[in-house]
Structure 1
Amino acid sequence: MAYAFITGLAGETLSPAEASFLRSAPPAGLILFARNCTSHEQIRRLVADVREAVGAGDDFLVLIDQEGGRVQRLRPPLGRALPPAQSYARLFAEDPALAREAAFHVARLVADDLRSLGINTDCAPVLDVPIPGAHDIIGDRAYGTDPEQVAALGRAVAEGFMAGGVLPVIKHIPGHGRATKDSHHDLPIVTEPHAVLTATDFAPFKALADMPAAMTAHVVFTAIDEAQPASTSRRVTREIIRGEIGFDGLLMSDDLSMKALSGAFGERARAVLAAGSDLALHCNGVLAEMEEVAAAVPELAGDALRRFHAAAAVLRRRDPYDLAKAEMQLGLAIGTDRRHAESV
């Protein structure tokens, strides 16, 4: 039995109160942040303690944001120094095939690193397409400004993760690149016509509609729904994410504690599930809020449970790979990033 939410934790160890909470309302997954990670052994112990409290089976998701660049919760010495997505975009300009190969192999390398710590889900790749004048919350996290290039590199990353038994979560569907505000702090409103969104923002997600999991955007698209952000909009979920884009994988909200949303946390959780997400994501580790979320969500069932199991099937995959080649490709990507930094 798992409830339709993913939770964070407050710190490096599982408190008795958190353990009691997890036993009473087992979530579908756990998300880790830098505050939860101080050593490899500590991370393994924390994950094991959570799994024990939840009574987790093989399908329990342990998530992290390990994109590279600005967004990587495991930094040296806990994890490899990873270049931002933009490095692969620069390499793509020189040699598209080599850029795709590097993106795949580095993701495959990261997958092995994560699995060694008990982490089986990476909230990446970012498929957002930034435009001039947009907020830099996406910025160098993007694989370029051309939707086809973003899709090509994003697919390479996702396939690298899956080859290593790590579930990729494409984000932020149906697109955050055009937003002029950071949804961590404000509600972005995008006013472009539907046809423009189809050709740009939505395009990489449509190209990767076969991926097993995705995270929604707390962004209002007035051409689709003038009142609600995508994450709480039934119309955006039904007509765009499940309809036009054609995504039928596991759909989770972005963090409920972001300030783009308003209202009590139980209301936020109910809103994202009512809109069509399968899982509500709550990240900040505040126990009172976690309890509100858990009380508001149902057990996983029906299509949500089907999608959850389909996504979790990725966790049982472990393809062989060439470690030396993967490390060489990581060096290539880092070198591209350094050359650019030295030239500006």
Structure 2
Amino acid sequence: MTEHSPLIIDVAGTALTAADRARLAHPLVGGVILFARNWQDRAQLLQLTASIKAVRADLLICVDHEGGRVQRFKTDGFTHIPPMRAFGELWLDDGQGRAYREGSGALRAMDAATAAGYVLGAELRACGVDFSFTPVLDLDYGVSGVIGDRAFARDPRVVTLLARALMQGLLQAGMAHCGKHFPGHGFVQADSHTEIPVDRRSFSAILHDDAAPYGWLSSSLQSVMPAHVIYPQVDSRPAGFSARWLQDILRGQLRFDGAIFSDDLSMEGARRIDGRTVSYTDAAVAALQAGCDLVLLCNQSLGEGHEVDALIGGLAQAQSQGRWQPSARSEERRLALLPETLPLAWDELMVHGAYMRALDLLP
């Protein structure tokens, strides 16, 4: 019996099909990632998440729900969370005139970030979602269109403290978190969804700036997602397929022991490894061999979903051939991301004191 369920896949619509249920029941599948196409309203989302859990209670239901332009559910009562840059800007606002007080902006920003994490997590959990891929730990160098206002700030110290505050809010809502995109995506202009970004800076520069939040948060981060970026001064492979980055640096040097997710294997940055285009199965095996605990394949269930089926079958074959072996430790890390408390129901949440106060603190 498989002791490790590393695949996070998607489903096509607002309700499960028979094909979805068959895929989710496969022992190699450990979770689902939802998108805006899976959303109609809160009642439908709650029914969808309940139907996923009915297939297997241990499936991790995930979503990219950061705030700003990366927020999958925005209607039927969901709060519009500001982009993370708004908290970085609040950090710098110490007031004017008699209201000026040095450092007050930083403290207000941290309180607001905690409130945002709580609102984000509590609303998702009220609809049956377990986990959101947030916070973004990338630095805002002002050059990356794909990161942009998703980043808190340019200063890694500010990013670290605001991310820690957001993580605290998520934990108050009973939701785990994921720092991304290790060691940093903010310095490169190219979008790894459509290109293969290359960051040619030295290892010391990357470690001192971009990767610094991962070291400072290593005792509190619950999961990390590496970037589909190549850092040729360190390794010729993108970070998510690099044992040097994931095992030697992230786990060894920075002493991180939580779960590591690959970024979406369907992105262009994941399809070319060592100069050649590879299959989703080969990409998944490479990510797992490099040190990922979990791998994502997004937006491939549309239509007949042949690519999802091919990945499930291909990984099973790779296991039987000895190209990949399940990891009990990786499975422990996956299960640790599941909520341990019952969520507040939506109507109860709407009148909950901590929730109402959190709404008032959002910028």
Aligned to 1:98: 108
CA offset at residue 2 of structure 1?
A: 5.3
Aligned letter for 2:50? A
The corresponding residue for 1:341 is none
Match of 1:245 in 2: 254
Tell me if structure 1 keeps the 8 A contact 2:247–2:291.
yes
260, 272, 278: which one pairs with 2:269?
Answer: 260
> For the aligned residues, what is the CA RMSD?
1.9
Alpha-carbon separation, structure 2, partners of 1:315 and 1:27: 21
Quote the Cα distance in structure 1 between the aligned partners of 2:49 and 2:326: 21
Amino acid at match of 2:10: G
Q: 1:289 aligns with which of 307, 316, 319?
A: 307
Cα gap change, 1:321 to 1:230, in 2 (>3 Å): farther
* Distance in 2 separating the partners of 1:285 and 1:19: 15
Say if 1:129 and 1:150, in contact at 8 Å, map to a contact too: yes
Tell me, yes or no, if structure 1 residue 308 matches structure 2 residue 314: no
Q: Secondary structure at the match of 1:248?
A: coil
Task: State the shift of 1:26 in Å.
Answer: 5.3
Is 1:269 matched with 2:270? Answer: no
Q: Tell me the secondary structure at the aligned position of residue 268 of structure 2.
A: coil
Specify the alignment match of 2:149 in structure 1. 140
Counterpart of 1:304 in structure 2: which amino acid? Answer: S
Percent identity of paired positions between Structure 1 and Structure 2: 31
User: What is the total number of aligned residue pairs between the two structures?
Assistant: 325
Q: 1:96 to 1:65 in 2, by over 3 A?
A: same
For 1:278, give the aligned amino acid: D
* Paired residue type of 2:239: A
The one-letter code matched in structure 2 to 1:6 is I
Matched with 1:193 is 202
In structure 2, what is the Cα distance between the partners aligned to 1:237 and 1:8? 25
1:14 aligned to which of 3, 16, 27: 16
TM-score, structure 2 as length reference? 0.85
Q: TM-score, normalised by structure 1?
A: 0.89
| CA displacement at 1:317 relative to structure 2 | 7.9
Distance 2:353 2:307 in 1: 42
Other-structure match for 1:339: none
Give the Cα separation in 2 of the matches to 1:306 and 1:18: 25
Of residues 121, 124, 139 in structure 2, which corresponds to 1:129?
139
CA distance in 2, matches of 1:26, 1:274: 16
- 8 Å CA contact 2:121–2:170 kept in 1: the answer is yes
Q: Structure 1: how far apart are the matches of 2:43 and 2:326?
A: 31
SS at the partner of 2:337?
Answer: helix
More displaced 10-residue stretch of structure 1: 320-329 or 67-76: 320-329
Which residue identity does 1:101 align to in structure 2? D
Paired residue type of 1:158: M
Q: Structure 2: where are the runs of 5+ without partners?
A: 94-104, 272-277, 320-324, 345-351
Deviation string, structure 1 residues 144-181 (Cα, Å, up to 9, x no partner): 00000000001111111011111111111111111220
SS in 2 for 1:168: coil
Choose the corresponding residue for 1:112, options 117, 122, 125. 122
